[in-house]
Structure 1
Amino acid sequence: MTATNVHSTDVVIIGAGPVGLFAIFECGMLKLRTHVVDALDMVGGQCAALYPEKPIYDIPAHPAIDGADLVDRLAEQAAPFNPTYHLGQQVTTVEKTAGGWRVGTDKGTVIDARAVIIAAGVGAFGPNKPPLDGLETYEGTGVFYMVKRRQDFAGRRVVIAGGGDSAVDWANSLAEVAAHVMVVHRRPKFRAAPESVSRLDALVKQGRVEMVVPYQLSGLEGTEGRLTGVRVADLDNHEKVLDADVLLPFFGLAMNLGPIADWGLDMEKGHILVDQRTQATSAAGIFAIGDIAHYPGKLKLILCGFAEAAMAAHAIHPLVHPDQALHFEYSTSKGVPGA
């Protein structure tokens, strides 16, 4: 292990999603230095990876804001506090030390810190992939599990498979730019917001979206990694081919807590139990915020995660600065660096 791979800081934040990014700000306001680790190679978590162009409606002062814009603004808000990011790395070990905790990653990075904040959402996530022969041949060229930029699909023939919010929302959105949108689902009823389903029904009546129901995916066709068709089968196993350039299978995410499950923290149904007043876990010096944290009355909302980040930062301050009384000041009077 080289010396450049070993770091020292006040707080390690595991997870660079919206709540993790806001935790940088809250720690920074209390003069707590932070290092941030995330398995993705970019900040933003699910907002950036899964729905960067999908509007979010429950962020205070923003009647609507796209996931990517929210991430950009949170990163900008955190920037004055000079966080150190370790992206594309998964935390594999968290070990108690005399001065706090030592965090290690699968890339050999080691960070010593007084406290740890776990803001890892619901853990590592990946798409549930359809069991189709040769699927990997088309991944990244004709098969995609998320939409980062809808303009990437402009003028293309798109098959969307699934019956949940993601399938319906992207069918509605891509109908505005794609040459043709086809929705494959095993039944005519969708598990999506009623307003979104009504909009989809309207697009179908206008001929802008084609419903392929009741069908399921059965195979892919193409040459040299270029997708040309998607085979589907009905309930009697009768097949047909949909001419297509793109397949977007939206069958949900496979969630995996990974090494977090082995860190000896008190847990309940895959979530970390915390003290609601401080977000402290059962291990002194480790805190959990956001979707991965659980307490009575917990609401899985980004805005609740923001509040939890503030509570965790205030609980950590005396651990890092035991000889300094914390005189809380509002940001309106305290300001931020460079303001």
Structure 2
Amino acid sequence: MPSMVDTDAVVIGAGPVGLFQVFQLGLLGLKAHLIDVLPEVGGQCVALYPDKPIYDVPGVPLCTGRELARLLLNQVRPFLPLNVASGQCEQVHLGHLVSEVQAEGDGHFLVQTDHGLQLRARSVFVAAGAGAFVPRTLNLPMLEGAKNVHYHLDDATIGALGGQHVVVSGGGDEALSAVVALTALPDGQRPSELTLLHRRDQFQAEPELDAQVRNLLASGRVKLVVGMPTDGVAQDGGVRSLTVLGPDSVARELTLDHLLVRQGMSPKLGPVSQWGMSLERKQVSVSPATFESSTAGIYAVGDINIYPGKKRLLLCGFHEATLAAHAAAATLNPEAPQHLLYTTTSPLLHQRLGVLQGH
């Protein structure tokens, strides 16, 4: 990645509204980079309720959060082209927390992340939902920076767990889903030993998921350790064991090779409050006509914004992204005709979408 990348727009937040924001910008000929602190696209829909049903997306009677993210990602692909060799998109930056947004004198913005990424953009769109979703931790100092402590069950994490003793911490859907997924891996990729650590022998998960894990516990494929981790032993950059205080007030040592903390996500407004925009009740105040914030050139869409009559509904976020994109296009390209084009008939939009004539 070059030290500085120039682009028309930066969209902060890769949830459904952020993905649709990139799509709308692309239709208007504006190139966007997409940033999210989570390791995969989908935002709150995927982080908090990936398999729960959603019923109020226009034209889609029923889909899960994960399915919706996949549909939107497929829709936006003409404007987020994949690198064939790597299978990645150079315009998508996952696992990055935007640490700073600075207005420059020439009308551009410098957007910086905690990983050193620097983007120079003509406009910024904040689609951060309720804030940056970060994993809930165990609040044990020795876990910070430990190379064998994981918070996401992505491909890289799964690849490190084969043949290892893995402790999964948590008692909700996220933890139990991880346990089921790890036990379903083929030989060679599956952990040699799997322990579920939770403060009590009761889970807060969907009944079907609860039953699956209870069957795994009964069969001996998964062990359950009940108690609260109070301390641990770190060595060579990793955590080697946890001290767990049981319900009988006895502390016991739980050795491990890898710790997977799956205790849900917590939204934090974070650095957004330091970017100079007017806030109301920890939300960005915007104009309902353009969804521009008090800082010209920075727009806010979705649950992160507030204006008279605001409804925190997904379909409203799609509407806001559309009007914000058109407002930005008119500002960035004032000499261009502002005629409304339709995807059903416009050859220009068909060209941008890669649609063959007559289809």
TM-score band by shorter chain is 0.7 to 0.9
Counterpart-to-counterpart distance in 1, 2:327 and 2:340: 13
Q: Aligned pair 1:218/2:218, yes or no?
A: no
Residue 160 in 1 paired to residue 160 in 2? no
1:169-188 to 2 correspondence within 5 Å? 169-177=177-185, 178-188=191-201
Q: Paired residue for 1:293, among 283, 289, 305?
A: 305
* Cα shift readout 1:33-69 (whole Å, capped 9, x = no counterpart): 2342636597737589969xx6575484985546995
Change (3 A) 1:67 1:329: closer
User: Structure 1 pair 196/92, CA: closer, same or farther in 2 (3 Å)?
Assistant: same
Among 95, 101, 119, which residue is 2:103 paired with?
95
How do 1:111-150 residues align onto structure 2 when only pairs under 5 Å count? 111-113=120-122, 115-132=123-140, 134-136=142-144, 139-141=146-148, 143-149=149-155
Instruction: Give 5+ residue unaligned stretches, structure 1.
Output: none
For the Cα contact (< 8 Å) 1:5–1:108, is it kept in 2? yes
Counterpart position of 2:79: 78
The TM-score, its normalising length taken from structure 2, stands at: 0.71
Distance 1:165 1:279, change over 3 A: farther
1:249 to 258, 261, 264: 261
- 1:208 matched residue in structure 2: 221
Structure-2 change in CA distance of 1:291 and 1:80 (3 Å) = same
Please state how far the C-alpha of 1:307 moved relative to its aligned partner.
4.2
Distance 1:160 1:133 in 2: 18
Structure 1 position 317 matched with structure 2 position 329: yes
What SS does the aligned partner of 2:203 have? coil
Amino acid aligned to 2:277: L
Question: How high is the sequence identity, in percent, across the aligned residues?
Answer: 30
1:36 to 17, 33, 38: 33
Three-state SS of the structure 2 residue aligned to 1:308 is: helix
- 1:27, CA displacement in angstroms? 0.9
- Pair 1:266-2:272 in alignment: no
**Aligned equivalents of 2:212, 2:289: Cα separation in 1:** 42
Superposed CA offset, 1:105-154 (max 9, x none): 365846252x43112344445433323353347x223x211111274334
Determine helix, strand or coil for the equivalent of 1:330: coil
- With the length of structure 1 as denominator, give the TM-score of the two structures: 0.74
Deviation of 1:336 (Å): 4.0
The structure-2 alpha-carbon separation of the partners of 1:221 and 1:14, relative to structure 1 and needing over 3 Å to count, comes to: closer
Mapped to 2, the partners of 1:129 and 1:202 lie a distance apart of 27
The offset of 1:246, in angstroms, is 2.0
Q: How many residues align?
A: 327
- What is the rounded CA distance, in whole Å, between the counterparts of 2:221 and 2:344 in structure 1? 49
For structure 2, list consecutive stretches of 5 or more residues without a partner in the other structure: 84-88, 186-190
Whole-Å Cα distance in 1 between the matches of residues 316 and 208 of structure 2?
Answer: 25
SS of equivalent residue, structure 1 residue 280: coil
| Residues 54-108 of structure 1, C-alpha deviations (whole Å, 9 max, x = no match) | 65754849855469956863662323699974845735233375x7453343658
Q: Which moved more, 1:290-299 or 1:35-44?
A: 35-44
- Counterparts of 1:81 and 1:206 in 2: how far apart (Å)? 43
66 and 154 in structure 1: CA distance in 2 versus 1, 3 angstrom threshold? farther
Q: CA contact under 8 A between 1:144 and 1:249: conserved in structure 2?
A: yes
Are 1:27 and 2:25 matched, yes or no? Answer: yes
* Contact preservation (8 Å) 2:231, 2:244: yes
For 1:135, the aligned partner's letter is L
